[in-house]
Structures are given as C-alpha cells and as structure tokens.
Structure 1
Amino acid sequence: MRLQKLSHSFTKIGFKPLQTTVRNILYSLSFSLFCIFYTSAQKVEKTNEKPIQEEQDTISVDKKTVDPSAELLLNEKDQDTTKKDSVPPVLTDKVTYKATDYMKLSRRENKMYLYKDAEIIYGDVQMNAGLIIVDNSKNEVYAYGIKDSLGEYTQTPVFKQAQNEVKPDSIRFNFDTEKALIYNSRTKQGEMNVKGEVSKRVNDSVIYMTNVKFTTSEDVDNADYYFYARRIKLVPKKKIVTGLVNMFIADVPTPLGLPFGYFPLEEDRTSGFLIPSYGDENTRGYFLQNGGYYFALSDYADLTITADYYTNGSYTLRTESAYALRYKYRGNFRVRYENNLNSERGFPDFTQSTAYNIQWTHSQDAKASPNSRFSASVNFGSSDYFRQSTNQLNTGNFLNNQISSSISYSKTFQGDPQVNLNAAATHNSNSNTEVVNLSLPNVSASVSRVFPFAPKVGTKKGIIQNINTQYNFRGENKIVTQDSLLFKSNMFKDAQIGMQHSIPISTNFKIFNYLSASMGTSFEENWVFETIKQSYDETANEGAGEVVQDTIKGFDSYRTYNFSASLGTSIYGTFKFKEGKKIQAIRHTMRPSISYSINPAFDQFYDTYTQPVEDDPDTPDIVETEEIVEYSRFEGGFYGAPSNVFSSSIGFSLSNNLEAKVRSKDTTATESKKIVILNNLSLSTSYNIAGDSLKLSPLSISGNIPIIQNKLDINFNTQLDPYALDNNNQKIDVWNINNGGSLFRLTSASANFGYSFSNTDFEKGNKEEDPLENQTLRNGGRQDNLFGGGTDFGEERSFDKEKEGTNKDIKHYSYKIPWSLRLSYAVNYSNSTRQNEISSHSIMFSGDVELAPKWSVGVSSGYDLKDPGFTYTNLRFQRDLDSWLMSFNWIPFSDRTSWNFFVGIKSSVLSDIKYDKRRETDREL
C-alpha cells in the first residue's frame, strides 16, 4: 500500500447547511463514532469522485535549506516504519474531540475534519489546532493552523503529552505507534527554548530534531544569541545531546563551537563540576578561580566545594552548604581559607599571609516550637579578612571595623510564674585593634514578674497591690584576647567567670488622680572567681619601688542595693485658630518628671596600702613621706568594683511634643490631619545632694525635628555646663555666670539626619519593598549601599526578572525616570576645654539612576567638609542585554583602587559562558 505524501497544507472546506432528517443525523453520528473507536487500514481505491483539494500551507519547509541528513525525515515512505498487519489495530484509549465551527466526516476518504478551535484528547496526549484531520484508515491525525480574516496564520497546533508541550506549525501523529512528525516546533525545557525545523517524536521521552536553535532568550524566533546544531537528541526535562554545535550572536556565527555538546535540562538539583574561570594578576600571576564540584546531597541540603589557584603558589579553599526544612528551619554555612603569597620566594618584597572566615546563619520557623528557639548568626575569622581577601570585593564590610557573632538557644517553661532560660555564645572583634571578645558561654534565666499582694479577681489598685518582684540570673565566661592568639593555649589563661543575681522590687500608684508615682529598690549579688590584691614593693623596679598586683584565684562575692522613686504627669495645652483657617489648632504636650535616688557607699569591700610620695615643690613647707591608697580587690574584675561614694541625687526631666491639626487636602476626609512640629524635645539634669562640689550635672538637650513626615527627621543633641573653667581649662566649682560668662557653657553639640527617597515617593499608591538579605548586611554593614556594596566574583550574577518585565514595553521614560538617592549628614561640635572646633563634619550619599529601560548607573561616595575631600567612592554601571548581563564596578581612588568588568549569560544553566576582567586591589598597600 502506498501512502499519500504529506504536505504542509491544510484543507479549506466550505460550510454547507445540512438538509436531512433526524434519522440520517443519528446514522451519521453513529457511523462516525464507530470509525473513530474501531478502525483499520484500508486500500485506497480509485473513484470517479473528485477529492477535496488542499491549499498549500503558508508556512512550509524549503528543502533547499534543509540539511541532506533530514531528507529521511521528510520522506514519509521511509519515515513510516509501521508494517501493515492483517489484524486491524485497535485504539488502546478513548478518543474525545471537539471544534467550535464544524466537524465533518468524509466517508469516501474515511477522514474527519475538525475546524476552528479543534481539540483531540487521546490518553495523555492532547492536540489543539485551527484544523485537525483524522485519517481513520491510517489511524493518524494531522494538525495545522488556519488563516484569519487578515490572512494571518493563527491557531497553530499545540501538542501536549504529560508535562511536555510543543508549539509547531504542523503535526502528524500516529495513534498506533504514538510517533509524530513535527514541523517548526517550539518547546521550552527548563530555562532553554528550543526550535527545530523537523522533529521526529519516537516516544514520550526521546525526540530527534534537525536544524535546531536553542537559547535561553525568551523570543526564540528573534533571539539575541542561540546555539545552532544540525542534529540533536532531546530528552525532555533531562538533556540535549548535539553533534556539531555553533554559537550565534545576533544571527552572526562566532568561532565558539564544539564537535559535540551536552546541555543538562534537569529541573531538580543535580551534582556536577563547576568550571573555573581564568585570568592573570600582577602580583600572583595567572590563576584559575571558582572551580570545584557541587553536591546535591538531598532535597533539603546541598554542598559546594570550590578553590582558586595562582601560579605563584597562592590558593583559596571554600566550602558552602545551604539547608532548609519547611516549617522547621533554614540556614547556610560557609568556610573560607586563603593562603596569600605576594611576589616570589627569595625576593625581598616576598610576603605570606593567611586569612579565614566562618559564616553560619540559622533561623527557626516560629511554628516549629512555640516554647523554644535556636538561632545563629556567625561571622568569625581573621580581623583583616575583608581587607586582604581575594576574589571578592566588599566595600561596606571593609569600612566596618566591627565583626560580631551570636549563637543562642532559648526555652520557656510555661506556668505561674513563667521561667525563661537562654544560653548563648557571642563574639566581637575589632579589625583595627585586633582585639577579640568572646563569651563562651553566656547563660541567663529569669522568673516572670510576681504580684504577691494583687487580688485574685479584678484590677490592681494602690501602692500595696501593685508591689511586684522578679528574679534574674546571668552567668558568663568572658575571654579577651588578640587575633593572633585565637585557638591557642594562651587564649584561655585570661578567661574570667562571673555570675550575677538580681531581685528588683517596685510599685506604682496614682496621687490625686493626676500624678503617677513609682518606687523601687534593687538587690544585686555578684560572684567572681578571681580577685586582685595590691601592695607596694619598695625593692621592685631595681629599688625604685612599684605597685604589685597579685591575682587571687578563688570564689568571692559582693552585694549592692539602691533605692529610687519618681513622680511625673502630663500637661496638655491647645491653641485653636479661627474657623476656615488651614491650621485649625496647635497642641503642646509637656511631661515633667522628678526623681530621687540613693546609692550607698560600700566601703567594706575596699582595702588600703601605703606608698611613699615625693615632696611637692609647690609646698616645700609640707613634708609627706607616705600616703594611704584605697583600692578594691574587685577592681578590674568581671563586674568591676562597687562604688565607695555615697550619692543622693535629685533628677529633673521635661519632655515636649508639639503637634498641629491642619485641614486635609482630601475634601472627602471627615477628620483633620495631624502634623508633628517638634518631637520629644527633652531637657534633663540632676543635682547630687551628697556631693561636696560640682553638684549640678550638665543640662542635656535632645530632640527630633520632622522635616518630611515619616521620611526625614533631624536629630540633635547638646550639652550645657553651668560651671566655669580655670586657666588650665579644668572645671572648677564656680558658676560660669559668676566667672564673667553666660549662664551655661556649650561643651558639645551634634546634629545628624538620614534620608532615602526615590521617584516612586512622588507616585500615589507606592509600596515599600522589603529589605533584601545580602552579604554586606549579614556582616554588620548597611543594606542601602550607602558606603558601597559587595561583589563576590565566585557567586553567580543574579538578575531580577520581575524588574526586567516592568520596563519591557516602555519606549521612553518622559519624566518618570527610575532613580533613588540616599543621604546621611552628620556634624559634631566640641568645646569642653575651649577648643571651639568642629570635630567632624561629613555628608555621605549613594544613588542609582536608570538612564534607559536597560541602563543603570550608581555611585556611593561622601565628602568630608572639615578636611575637604571625597571619601571612599564606588562607581557602578549595569546594562541589561536581554539574555546577557553586563556590569562594571570601579573604585577610582584610595589605596583600594580597583575595577571589574563582567559580561555573561544571565541564565544559571549557561552561567559559565562569560567574560570577566578585573584589576584587584594592591594587597601590599
């Protein structure tokens, strides 16, 4: 039997109204169902009737452009490998079909025609097209698009099987063999878009294609780049295996080609090698960076091991793991070790240094355990890690001198009273001084507040019923050491252990219904396991004598207590304006408060020793051979020494708020709008009744002035001292006004503000975005890149696809150019010893401007107004090239001058196709 040759065409059939009886209609439907569900191959006999003509498909394959190896696929005689059997084939599943225009059965051809929005479903196979032809004699189906009223080729076929979807120009599918021929197919596999001229579907897991383009570009027909292969084998959602493959950029072939290619399409994470990048460096020579292996350990955890190597012998080892368990916890762990060599061994400028860093972040879901919680935020390592680290640049962390870590576990024991227990380990180091503070461990416990005299039913009233107390405990093992002594035996020699118990007792009550009063006392007991005994040794220091300190090991303790009381109220004053005015009223709120506190002198914890003194040349008549020195054995200990000076002081404070009620611009608003004019203007001072001199403390004034509601506030603080200075600029017990000066002497003042705004602030209905987690913020820096951002050359360049789509159809920006600006201003004035100077005065700024829908420029810098000059500056440029991303980062001056240029494919599947060129910081500087 010879099969009719398949052409890229569809049959145009005119609609003719049927004139028949109900019996004929039922007969036709019954016959069509019988033909669909039970068919067999028939020999095509000659007939005198003229067959239905088919029009040529508007999208056809030009055989001149098809590779000769594809002829076998285009020849139907060779393509159909199904041999005819004497036993009629039977469909293995139910076939359902529909069409919106008409369904026509041709008994002479033994074919059925479905026109417009046609659909056939056979098992897990679904086919949609403008025109579908079912050939019952061959058990085959043909699908084509149709032309609309404008002559456009629409309703092109869509072939679906299971999770796979193909969108070709035309399809031929055999129900018996479940094989298909697909022309100009388009399919998406993971991040890869594939377009093949001719595809032969062998089964649901293997497809052979010829003249294929595959790319990560969204528009496969007009891709900015693609890979071209003459033959490929496609295993959906698993892999693409190709023969000779070439890379095209803007339809221009490039020298980049491979004799064969393998492109994984796994949707799940899989283990595999990470291809390193290469380059050269002035001080370390040629290098291979970020090469290693990725382990997909499970659905809940992974592991990445990478390394860098330089030809001068320097190397870096990195390990990173991320884990997550839904509704339980999530976190990541990172370890980095570097051995840095500068120059060559034997050269006078040769240096060697090591740096390491350990980072661990763990967070527990609040639903996992309501009564216990474990969390970790660890950033532990060398003090100079962010200054000397290779293969990364983090400006924000470089400018931050403090590195800290914390691991904590908390447990709540429900009951009455409730008990809270917390155990933690903390770390803090200073990159300038290289001093490391460790707390291993730090344990605290507390019992919730108890009201022993409160009634069992009703509210608490009066001074007795409001009496409350609680118990707090804190124990700590503290280690202070140098960065060079970490993990060495000397590190633990100076460890200090301390425990503290505290029991506060307080109450509060009303006086005349307007005054709020409170009283309280606190008892503390401190336990230490090391004290210091001091004495004077006349024979020490070669007979010159010196004070000798002996460390006494053993348990010791001291107890302290105090008493305090306060009285305060709130006073409101409102000034109303005439009706019709924009400002309707101004409200002034004052909260005066007076407090009294007693701190006894704990002389019992002090000892004395005598030491000789030299004669004072200013008083030659007075000869004093020795003096008595008072000291406490707890000085320099864990909690320090208790005070041996009795103090009885009265404190005064006044807080002010100024608000205005204005008429709302919204005519539909029923209430006026409140605006804060002055927020928390506070004045405070104290007077020590028991003091022998300088009894009055300096007057402290602080406040907040809102400039832009909820956006810009100016914070200020100042200190006013009522006492005068002598000729040596030392404070004396003389009022400044009596010494020829003003009532108060300005000793210090400061003002600062920070402001962040963007073009969206001037649009209605804008929403604030959640802050993003980043490496700079994780290590104690800022999240707004005010002092510069971070770049890790080993991490993949990510791109925000949601942001990409927002400006996709914008032709011009007009006045809505996306931009953002962050400002920080600070000024400090000092005059404590008549220096009368601005101690610091600077402004920091960081901004980003999207010049075009795919161009963005940013800068982070500052200017020192005291010593004129720009501060640390970082410039950044970025260009979105659709499927590619290009970026340039530049630090133009300072001892960390460097730049980095990167261009690469955004998709993680082809992230190794990139060009990365940079000039790193000179580590010797």
Structure 2
Amino acid sequence: MGLFRGGRRALTGTLCLVLWLLGSGLFGAQAQTTTDSTSTNPRRAGSAPTQPVRNLNFDRNAPQTPAPAGEVNPGQPSVPGTLRKAAPSIRPDSAGLLADTSRRTRDSLNLVVLKRRSQVETAVKYAAKDSIQFDVNSKIAKLYNKATVDYGKMGLKAALITVNYGTNTVQAAGRRDTVKNKMEGTPVFRDEAGTYQAGAINYNFKSKKGKIAEVVTQQGEGYIHAEVVKKLPDNEFYGLHGRYTTCNLAHPHFYIEAGKMKVVPGQKVITGPFHMVIADVPLPIGLPFGYFPTPHNGRGSGFIIPTFGQGAQRGYSLTNGGYYWAPNDYIGVRLTGDIYAGQGDGFGGYGLASEVTYRKRYKYQGSFRFTFAQQSANLYNTAGVVGTDYTSPLKTNTFWVSWSHTPTPLPGGGVFSASVQAGSSSYNRVNTLNARQLLSATFSSTVSYSKTSRTLPINYTIQLAQSQNVQTGVMDFTLPNFNLGVARQYPYQWLGIQPSGKFYEQFAVSYNLVAQNRISSLVPARTLGGDIPLLGGNSTSYTIPVSFGNLGNLLRNAQNGAQHQFQITLPSAAVLNRHIQIQPSVNYGETWYAQRLNYEYKSAARAIEIDTITGLKGFSRAYSYSANLAATTNFYGLVQIKGDHYVKAIRHKVTPSLTYSFSPDLSNSSAFQTIQTSEFQDLRDAYGRFLDPRVFSRYQGFVYGTPTSSRVSQLGLSIQNSIEMKVRNSRDTTGTNPTKKVSLADGIDVSLAYNFAADSLRLSPLNLSYRVQVAKKLNVVFSSSFEFHQRDSTGRLLDRYLFNQSKIRLARLVAANLSLGYQFNPAAKPKSKANIPRAVAPSNDPTLGSPLSQAMYADYIDFDIPWEASVQYTASYTTASAPIRPTLIGVTPLLSGNAVTASGSVKLTPNLRLSTSLNFDFRAGTLVYPTVNFYRDLHCWQISGLWIPVGPYRGYNFTIAAKSSLLQDLKLNRNKTILNR
C-alpha cells in the first residue's frame, strides 16, 4: 500500500510540472524591415541588435539564449523557488514499482494551483516597414512606419505603434508630414465590433479596454465622430463631444451634435441632449435625448414618423406613419396609415397600407401590398377628374392589391410565380400620381404553377388569372386555367426502330389539353344575329358589380370547358431540286362543355326561345378536324453597283408561301341545331338572307366558341419581303470594315385568302404591313387592311366586287395603323453593369424604409448621358370611326387615334438632372398628364420635385431629404396635388 501511495505522489508531482509547462504564456514576434533607422537601439536589416533578440516562443527542445544578469529569461518558464529544484529521478525498485519520491506532509489531493505567467491567449504578431525597436528590460517594442499589430480578432495599423508586453498594452499614433503639413498614418483599429479611425489609441488587449481620441467609426448606415471614446470589454463604448451623421466625409455636411453618447455596436446609439448642425451652422432644432437604431445585418424594427401636411379640401393631415417590423433578415412588414382632418364639418378621410416583403435564398423573393383609402363622396367628383373615358363612378371606399412573387428556377423543379395588380376601378384616379398606373385602362393578374416532368415528355401549367378595365369596371376571372402538353413524339421510336433516314420516320404526333373556368362580370347581350326575334333574354349587355352579395349571379354567368388538340405532322418533301419545301399536317380537336343551348320556336310569340341545359344532360362534345398543306420557298435578287459609289449592292429576299386548308361541313353535327318552320319565310336577317331554315350553334358565347359549321376549302397566299443594301463605311479608316449593311425594309408582308367553298364573300381582305428601323434610331411600323367587296348605304357588305361598280376600284382601305418612334441620345455609350458605381451613399426607400443603393436607380438617374429624348407618334384610321368635334388643329373625323408622346431629360450639371414627359391627343386637342421632374444630388442629401402644369391632376411635389433610410424622416416636403387638395 505504501508503495502505491508513493507512486501516486510521484505522478502528481510530475503532472503539476507538465501542467505548468503547458500553461506558460506565449508571445511571438516577427519583424519586417526595409529601411535603416538612426535610432540608438533599433533592430536594422542586416545588423545585430544592441540587446539580443531571443526566441520568445517557448520550445523545450529549442536552445535558449541565456538571460542577462538579474533578468529572468522570458523564454524559460518562471516558477516558484520551491519548485525550481531539479526534478527528482524516478527509478523502479527491485519489485519493478516506482519509488515514492513526492511524499509531502499535506494531502496529495490538495494540488498547488499554477498560474500562467501571462494572460495573453494567443500570439501577438507585429510588423513594420521601417524598423522595430525592442527594449528587453522594459519589455517594450516600438514599430515605425506602416506598423501593424495583429492579436486574434484585434488589428491595428498606424505610423507609430508601441507595444508593452509587460502590461499587455498597445499605443498608436500618426505622424505629421512637415512637407505636406498634414497627418499621415493615423491609427486604424479593428476588432469584432467594428473599425475605428482615430488620432491616438491606447488599448489593453488583455482586458480589451481602451481609450481612443478623435475617433471616426461606422455603425450601420451612420458615422460617429467623437473627441474621446472609452471602449469597454463588451465592445460598448462611450463618447465625449460626439457627432452622429450619415455623411461619409471626414468633414460631414450635417450631423447631430451631442455632449455624451453611448454606442452598442450593431444595435443602437443613445445620446444625451443634442442639436442639429447643417453646413457648420447650429440650428435651434434638438431634443433632450436621442435614440438611433444601427442594425449591422438586415433591417431593424421601429416606428415610422408620419409626414405633416395641409390641403385645401382635406385639411390638415398626417400621412405615411406607422411601424416597421423586421423579425429577421428575410421578412419585413410595414404598416402605415393616413388621416385627414377635413374642412368644416366634413371628415377628410383616412388610408391604411400593409406591405410584406420576403425572401428565401436560392428559392424565391417577393412582396405583397394592400392599401385601403376612404374619402368623401364629392371630394373628387368633378368632370375634370372623372373624364369622359370613364363610365364607372368614383367610390368613397377603394382598395388596391399588389403581389409579386419571383422564384429562382431550379432544374427539374416546379415554378410558382405571381404578378397581381387588382383593386377598385377608381382607386388609381385619386390615390396615385404614377403616370403608368394613372393612364392605364386595363390591369391583369396571374398566379401560376408550371412543371416539366424529368422522365416523361409532359409539361403542365395551372394558372389563376384576372383582368379588369378601370374605365368600364368589367372584371374577368379565370379560375383556373389548366394546360397540359405532350412534346412531339415519333412513332418509330415507340417501336424501337433505329433511324435510317426513311420518310416514315418523320411522322410525329403532339397533344395539348386546355381547360378553364371563366367568370365575367359582363353579361353580354343575347341575340341571334340580324333581326331574328328572340323571346326573353337581354337585348343589351350590362355589368354585375363584383361583391360577395353578387357571388351567385357571377357564378351563374360562368363559362367553362375543355379543349383537346391533336396534331399529326406528316413527312415533308422537297421538290424542284429541293427549292420548294412541302409540309402536310392533320389536326383533330374536341371541345367538351358541361352545358349547351337548346332552341325552340314559340308560335304564339312568333319568336325563338333559348334554354340552357346543364348537368349530365348538358354535357356534350364538339369536334372538328382539318387538313393543311403548305409550300414555301425563297427567292433572292441581287444588284451590284460597280464603281466608286456610296451604294455597293442591293439585295432583295422574297419568301412566298401557299397554304391550303380544308375542313368539312359540320352543320349536321350535334354542335348545331336547325330550326325548321314556314312561319319564317317572310323574315330576313340583317344580310337579307331568309331565316328558314336556319342553323344555330349550341355553344354561342361559350368559352371556346363553336366549330365552323360550313365547309372550308381555302387557299392562302402570303409573301414576306426584306430589302437591304451594302454601303460604304465612312467611319472605317483602317480598311478592315470598308462596307456596312443598311436595312431598307425589315419586312414587307402581304397576305390574303380565297375560300372556294363559301357561298359568298369568298375573297378575304388584303393585309399589308411594313416595318423598318432606320439608323438604329427611327422605328417605323405600318399596317393596313383593304376590302374587295362593295358596301351598301348602311355599311353592310355585299357579294359584289368593287371593280364591278360604275366607278371602278380595285380595293378600299378600311383600316390602317402607323407608329413612328425616334430616340435622341447623341452621347450614349455602351456601359456594362460592372461600371456602375456601387460605393454610393444609400438612399431612402419610401415603400420599405430600407437602404437602397443609388446604383439600383441607374436606369432612371443616369448622370453619364448629357441629354436624351424620345418621340412616339401613333395614328389609327378606320372607316367605322365616328366623327368628333372640331379641334384646334382642324377636323379629323376618320382617325380613331391620333396622338404624340414625348419625353426627355437633360443633365445641366454633374448632379442636376431635369426630365419631362407629355402626351398630346390631336383628336381631343388636349394635353394629357404633362410632367416635369428634377433631381439634385447633394451627396448625402437629395432634392426631388414633380410639377404637373395643366390638367385635372395639376400640382407640385417638392422634397429635400437625407438619402439614408435611417434618417428618412429628416426631410422637408411641400406639395399640392390631387392627393391632398
């Protein structure tokens, strides 16, 4: 037992020694010198130091330099005197057991606690460009010229750094350049809390406390300047005579000055009494304390200060005030509201808005916004605002919903997307100044999911759609729309036949299924065409108001069905030495409906009654099939011009195509019903045709319509032309590109058709179109339609050609459209996204309250283009255009559309830009929504303005504000628009 006890004590003593050796402090140094120093005790490149520089990293196997007299070798462990005796030798006794060499009078379990000589947790690495001076006695190292010190997560750069590894402190300062008379190499301190620029630094890397003079540091979007800062171990620091600003200049344009402030990095800045200073001018604007959130990552939650305003009709107001909640970096919720006091006894109204932004990395991102507005019924109910184009009245309660969901496509995965713009028809007329929303007559929304199978040649799409016309108030819903497609399949692949180039290998089959359920608020007029008497029904169309109370009426007005399409592609052939390509095809289709119409003649009323059959009895199918044969070829014409002329050659390409289509007579199928009665012998329709017998479609007005009842044997002709010429390149001076191509016509297309099986009006109208782009600036698009048949005094088509009348004419123009667009941009140069500056002060995002870089608005505020302008002219002609009143420029009775749109911008100075847009309607002789915008960049501030000089929306909006979203409430706004009258 005694032997065992002695062995245990020996092991205990050995363990104590090992623990002490492992717990010794480590201090590594590395020096980097490139320039000699004149110091009396420096370490220079290529010379030995005055005091020996010893290895300060303890290594029991490495030879150690003996320490000078009176100094403990820092490379050796420092232990108490009682423990610095030579370690006793341990030999086994005769029995093979260890001898007891560590017996003590005290209990062997009461071990001596060995403390580390240094509390430094890791090696301190330092370097300097000029020299490093060591004072071994005082344990001080001085680093000169571009000195750096790294200690774990702490880093320091300065012109002069003094490290005292006896007290674990480091001091840093800059040096003054006597030639330039300015400070150079001022300290830059870095730790896990941030980066600090200072005039002088005194820091203890053991306690992580320090004092920093003349500090400048960034916290979130803001910058903090202070005379003296006291830094604590938990990274909080206190500042004396501090300034808080979002201007990134050394001498900021504006700041909030406070005597004392406390900073919690990544969270907040708290100040005592403060006041505002702009351009070094103190303003009498201040508060007894200040609180500024400074989130490092993502957005921070907080209140949104409302904007105060006043209007002539709605009175005093507080707008855009509320709360922004950011639970994490992926979701943000903004809740705001508006309230108007009104004038007299009338309440001005209120508004509510909710917006949610979300994002999941590598998956999707999107935003959802819902707004509600309430205003007085007669607030905007003037003819100037409602306009003659609007038939729906203004409402007191309006709303608008916007939803955008964009997925990140992944191979083989489904894609869900959404783009929703819907709401009250009169919302945009009184709640926005956005030109696109204000002038748009229709809005559409889609929510869809699509996927392509990895193993099967199948793809499908499920879509929910909605469209509305804000002028008429008509809404259409497609709930849902399903599309299933099968890619083209070759039967020889099903049979496992290896391809050998045979003609039958070109046989291909494709399939497509489309099914939808459509609900419309418009109930169309039910007529049978012409003057056929109809019993019951509505002779005019009307609109059902969209509301939950009218849900039953809307569902009864729904139309649904499914359509199947099979296409069989037959082998193509090349004839006439492969100059003509012939392609046959066969199509078969079926349409399924859950209801059908039934016609019955009522002799008492001498009219026809229509009954809608639903349910199982109403289910029916309408089929159709057709065959097509197309022949296509190309002709080329080339004219080469010899000699030294500007035009070198002209080439003309012609692509004619003949298409023959055939479909049988399906009037005897179940899709049609024939009414036989002699009582209609004396009745004619609007075209003068007898009504007995008459074939009616059982699917009139249905979602997919009805197949063609009569036989079709039609031959179609289309000719496509393109003309271009080769001219001398006057800009080429090297001879590498002596010529260039110029387009005279990108497309001159002509098409018409003749139906051999029709009983009348066999020749279709002639369609002619022309398009060209001149000098990459002017875009010209023209289209027209010509008729070959005569019309009577009422405008009805007659089965007689124009060349058969007394005044011979070949064709008559019935419709034409012209569009001219020109882009002026003389100084435009290609610019890649990589050249867009990114290091720009963040701006205020009024919708999210989050910082957005100015680079995101490069498409709207481009300060690299001196000026630009664009002009767009559109005109429409139709013989059915109704005459209008005379205008200031004369009478234009045949033009259904005649307007010019112009927009332009000019950069007056590097930071000042003006832009304008206008739309003039020649038919009405009015200027439609002209606007003048200006923007002034003031580095950390910005000035923006909008002026609408004339029209029902005339007014102005002027704002000067700080760019940073952190100080988005620091702004001055003056406006008088339709939104706050």
Q: Name the TM tier (shorter chain).
A: 0.7 to 0.9
CA contact (8 A) 2:881 2:895 kept: no
After the TM superposition, which residues 324-363 of structure 1 pair with which residues of structure 2 at under 5 Å, given as runs? Answer: 324-342=359-377, 353-363=396-406
CA contact (8 A) 2:667 2:695 kept: no
Residue identity matched to 2:446: S
Match of 1:129 among 149, 154, 158: 158
CA distance in 2, matches of 1:343, 1:692: 58
Q: Alpha-carbon deviation of 1:217? A: 0.6
After the TM superposition, which residues 687-706 of structure 1 pair with which residues of structure 2 at under 5 Å, given as runs? Answer: 687-706=754-773
Deviations 1:76-96 (A, max 9, x none): xxxxxxxxxx99975444333
Residue identity matched to 2:510: Q
Match of 1:577 among 629, 633, 641: 641
Any stretches of 5+ residues in structure 2 without a counterpart?
1-35, 58-66, 76-114, 342-346, 380-392, 522-542, 837-843, 884-892
Q: Alpha-carbon deviation of 1:904? A: 1.5
Q: Secondary structure at the match of 1:603?
A: coil
1:795–1:366 Cα change, 3 Å:
closer
CA distance in 2, matches of 1:374, 1:804: 28
Alignment match, 1:586: 650
CA contact (8 A) 1:609 1:630 kept: no
Alignment match, 1:64: none
After the TM superposition, which residues 164-183 of structure 1 pair with which residues of structure 2 at under 5 Å, given as runs? Answer: 164-183=194-213
2:182 matches 1:152? yes
RMSD: 3.9
CA contact (8 A) 1:320 1:332 kept: yes
Match of 2:310 among 280, 292, 298: 280
Q: Alpha-carbon deviation of 1:692? A: 3.5
Residue identity matched to 1:716: F
Match of 2:146 among 117, 142, 164: 117
Match of 1:743 among 795, 807, 810: 810
CA distance in 1, matches of 2:43, 2:968: 65
CA distance in 2, matches of 1:447, 1:625: 46
2:433 matches 1:393? yes
Match of 2:412 among 340, 349, 370: 370
2:779 matches 1:713? yes
After the TM superposition, which residues 86-125 of structure 1 pair with which residues of structure 2 at under 5 Å, given as runs? Answer: 91-105=120-134, 111-125=140-154
CA distance in 1, matches of 2:924, 2:404: 40
Q: Alpha-carbon deviation of 1:26? A: 7.3
CA distance in 2, matches of 1:37, 1:908: 58
Q: Alpha-carbon deviation of 1:582? A: 4.2
Residue identity matched to 1:801: Q
CA distance in 1, matches of 2:261, 2:934: 39
Alignment match, 2:741: 674
Alignment match, 2:192: 162
Alignment match, 2:619: 555
CA contact (8 A) 2:43 2:131 kept: no
Deviations 1:546-599 (A, max 9, x none): 443222212122211122212121111222222654433221111111121123
2:479 matches 1:440? yes
Q: Secondary structure at the match of 2:908?
A: strand
1:767–1:819 Cα change, 3 Å:
farther
Q: Secondary structure at the match of 1:743?
A: coil
Alignment match, 1:42: none
CA distance in 1, matches of 2:801, 2:394: 61
Q: Alpha-carbon deviation of 1:194? A: 1.1
Q: Alpha-carbon deviation of 1:227? A: 0.3
Residue identity matched to 2:918: S
1:89–1:518 Cα change, 3 Å:
closer
CA contact (8 A) 2:754 2:762 kept: yes
After the TM superposition, which residues 24-423 of structure 1 pair with which residues of structure 2 at under 5 Å, given as runs? Answer: 25=49, 27-30=51-54, 91-105=120-134, 111-135=140-164, 139-148=168-177, 149-221=179-251, 223-268=252-297, 269-311=299-341, 312=347, 314-342=349-377, 353-367=396-410, 369-389=411-431, 392-415=432-455, 418-423=457-462
Q: Alpha-carbon deviation of 1:750? A: 2.1
CA distance in 2, matches of 1:511, 1:642: 34
CA contact (8 A) 1:362 1:377 kept: yes
CA contact (8 A) 1:895 1:922 kept: no
2:546 matches 1:489? no
1:145–1:602 Cα change, 3 Å:
same
Q: Alpha-carbon deviation of 1:430? A: 0.9
CA contact (8 A) 1:533 1:551 kept: yes
CA contact (8 A) 1:719 1:747 kept: yes
Alignment match, 1:60: none
CA distance in 2, matches of 1:237, 1:335: 32
CA contact (8 A) 2:37 2:44 kept: no
CA distance in 1, matches of 2:845, 2:55: 70
After the TM superposition, which residues 388-537 of structure 1 pair with which residues of structure 2 at under 5 Å, given as runs? Answer: 388-389=430-431, 392-415=432-455, 418-453=457-492, 456-458=497-499, 460-462=501-503, 464-481=504-521, 482=543, 484-487=545-548, 488-507=551-570, 508-512=572-576, 513-537=578-602
1:613–1:130 Cα change, 3 Å:
same
Q: Secondary structure at the match of 1:386?
A: helix
2:922 matches 1:848? no
CA contact (8 A) 2:43 2:49 kept: no
Residue identity matched to 1:25: P
Q: Alpha-carbon deviation of 1:477? A: 1.0
Q: Alpha-carbon deviation of 1:394? A: 2.1
1:395–1:823 Cα change, 3 Å:
same
Q: Secondary structure at the match of 1:25?
A: coil
Q: Alpha-carbon deviation of 1:197? A: 0.9
1:298–1:117 Cα change, 3 Å:
closer
CA distance in 2, matches of 1:797, 1:108: 56
Flag the structure with higher strand content.
1
| Normalised TM-score (structure 2) | 0.76
Residue identity matched to 1:523: Y
CA distance in 1, matches of 2:835, 2:208: 50
CA distance in 2, matches of 1:314, 1:725: 57
Alignment match, 2:387: none
CA contact (8 A) 1:516 1:569 kept: yes
CA distance in 2, matches of 1:855, 1:270: 32
CA distance in 1, matches of 2:168, 2:933: 63
Q: Secondary structure at the match of 1:750?
A: strand
1:26–1:656 Cα change, 3 Å:
same
Alignment match, 1:827: 875
CA contact (8 A) 1:611 1:626 kept: no
Residue identity matched to 1:632: S
Residue identity matched to 2:814: T
CA distance in 1, matches of 2:211, 2:874: 72
After the TM superposition, which residues 525-924 of structure 1 pair with which residues of structure 2 at under 5 Å, given as runs? Answer: 525-537=590-602, 539=604, 546-553=607-614, 554-578=618-642, 581-604=645-668, 605-608=672-675, 610=677, 628-664=693-729, 665-666=731-732, 667=734, 669=736, 672-709=739-776, 711-726=777-792, 730-739=796-805, 740-761=807-828, 763=829, 765-767=830-832, 796=849, 800-802=853-855, 818-831=866-879, 837-921=894-978
CA distance in 2, matches of 1:716, 1:768: 35
CA contact (8 A) 2:655 2:719 kept: yes
Any stretches of 5+ residues in structure 1 without a counterpart?
1-11, 40-85, 345-349, 772-790
Residue identity matched to 1:173: Y
Deviations 1:829-882 (A, max 9, x none): 334799983332221012222211221211111223344332221221222222
CA distance in 1, matches of 2:479, 2:568: 31
CA distance in 1, matches of 2:954, 2:562: 49
CA distance in 1, matches of 2:74, 2:414: 67
Q: Secondary structure at the match of 1:375?
A: strand
Q: Alpha-carbon deviation of 1:218? A: 1.3
CA contact (8 A) 2:42 2:131 kept: no
Q: Which has the larger radius of gyration?
A: 2
